[in-house]
Amino acid sequence: MGTRYDRTILGSNDDGRRVDRILRRLLQDVPLSRIYRAMRSGEITVNGRRVRGDTRVSEGDAIELAESLHGRRTVDRTGVPDGRTGGDGSSLSRRIVHEDNDLLVVNKRRGELTHGAGSLETAVHAYLAGRPTDGVSFRPGPVHRLDRNTSGLLVFSLSLRGAQAAAAAFRDGTIGKRYVALFEGTLTAGTWDDLLGRDRAQRVTRRVEGTASDTGLRAVSKVEPIAASATHTLGLVRITTGRTHQIRAQAGIHGHPLAGDRKYGSTEAGPYLLHAASLTVAQPHEGIGFSYLYADIPDSFRTRVEEHFGTHALQRLDAILRGRHNPEASQ
């Protein structure tokens, strides 16, 4: 009796991927060394032919897996690992700002992790559980990240096209990111342009001297006050680079730490307030189905703003975020 094979047809989310990466999703319980041996022996073929691990596949290709690969576990086409969704997908729908076939944008809560157990990513997987995806190797995930104590808009990819489009748009600045923050002191409008390096031992970001290199990366943030008192400033920050702790570090470097951010020089009790408030797409971009999104600041943030600056500051901020007074619109 000849060898029996299971056949899997690849979809659009698999197009252009290396076959060994797809096999690691299809054969989650099989060691990688065994997978490579199976490709050499012909227990794994693509369109009936033996392939190398670095072979790129196309939509519509057929991967054939011999039944001799005992212990294999086939991933279903929901893109979520079997039986390990966790999280609370039912409550997530109230925080979804945008959803289409390629991208999901969620309003992240302060204190919520982007990745890991009990994270927003876990809740997204629970929300998507049972939905079919066009392929076997793609798993929905965050395109960028926010620090645990930063709230606001976080983009997740629902397809390979969405992942590639959003990653490229963030990288080249097609998607503009704007934050709302509460600073110590009276802040004036301007641009912060610094070379930042990461101190991994202390888990802080610092300004370094010299030119951009392995020890430092350029960070650019444009700051604009919305309201100010003698002790604090409510400001908008548009970042054109995305460095770890960029806004927090630069605020401390320039003498206006986020109020309550003791790691970066604040003398006040926390928590600090930093909210990823809006995303603006500078020009139409295939795979990105929105042009402008915003997320209202959390209630605790609103309370602090009203305490420091009054209701007029809240009204002005709301008008800016909702596009009725959008400084980016004329830029």
Whether residues 93 and 240 fall in one domain: yes
At residue 84, the pLDDT reads 40
pLDDT band at 70 (very low <50, low <70, confident <90, very high): low
At residue 3, the pLDDT reads 65
**pLDDT surpasses 90 at 143:** yes
At residue 9, the pLDDT reads 84
Whether residues 233 and 302 fall in one domain: yes
When pLDDT is averaged across residues 239-263 and rounded to a whole number, the result is 94
Whether residues 140 and 215 fall in one domain: yes
Task: Count up the domains in the chain and report the number.
Answer: 2
Q: Is residue 76 part of a domain?
A: no
Of 66, 98, 113, the domain-final residue: 66
- The string of DSSP codes covering 238-285 is EESS--TTHHHHHHHHTT-PBTT-GGGT--S-S---EEEEEEEESS-B
Q: Is residue 72 part of a domain?
A: no
The C-alpha atoms of residue 143 and residue 151 are separated, in whole angstroms, by 16
Q: Is residue 74 part of a domain?
A: no
Q: Which of 24-33, 46-55, 181-190, 257-266 has the lowest mean pLDDT?
A: 24-33
When pLDDT is averaged across residues 240-245 and rounded to a whole number, the result is 89
Whether residues 146 and 273 fall in one domain: yes
Whether residues 19 and 159 fall in one domain: no
| Non-local CB neighbours of 237 within 8 Å, separated by 6+ positions | 178, 179, 180, 181, 221, 222, 223, 224, 247
Whether residues 217 and 314 fall in one domain: yes
Domain with 239 in it: what CATH number?
3.30.2350.10
- The string of DSSP codes covering 88-151 is -HHHHGGGEEEE-SSEEEEEEPTT--SSSTTSHHHHHHHHHTT---S-SS---EESS---TT-E
Neighbouring CB atoms inside 10 A of 307's CB total 9
Most confident option among 85-89, 90-94, 249-253, 286-290: 249-253
Whether residues 155 and 292 fall in one domain: yes
DSSP three-state, residue 213: strand
At residue 214, the pLDDT reads 62
Whether residues 248 and 217 fall in one domain: yes
Whether residues 9 and 104 fall in one domain: no
**For every residue of 138-169, which 3-state class applies, written as one string?**
CCCEECCCCCCCCEEEEEEECCHHHHHHHHHH
Q: Which of 45-54, 212-221, 262-271, 300-309 has the lowest mean pLDDT?
A: 212-221
Share of the chain above pLDDT 90, in %: 56
The C-alpha atoms of residue 318 and residue 88 are separated, in whole angstroms, by 29
Whether residues 234 and 300 fall in one domain: yes
Q: Which of 93-102, 118-127, 145-154, 322-331 has the lowest mean pLDDT?
A: 322-331
Whether residues 37 and 120 fall in one domain: no
Q: Which amino acid is located at 216 in the chain?
A: G
Q: Is-contact 107 152, C-beta < 8 A? A: yes
pTM: 0.80
Q: Is-contact 111 148, C-beta < 8 A? A: yes
At residue 317, the pLDDT reads 94
pLDDT band at 28 (very low <50, low <70, confident <90, very high): confident
**pLDDT surpasses 80 at 75:** no
pLDDT band at 330 (very low <50, low <70, confident <90, very high): very low
First to last CA, the chain: 70
Structure tokens at 133: 């995806």
- 48 lies in which domain range? 5-66
Whether residues 13 and 110 fall in one domain: no
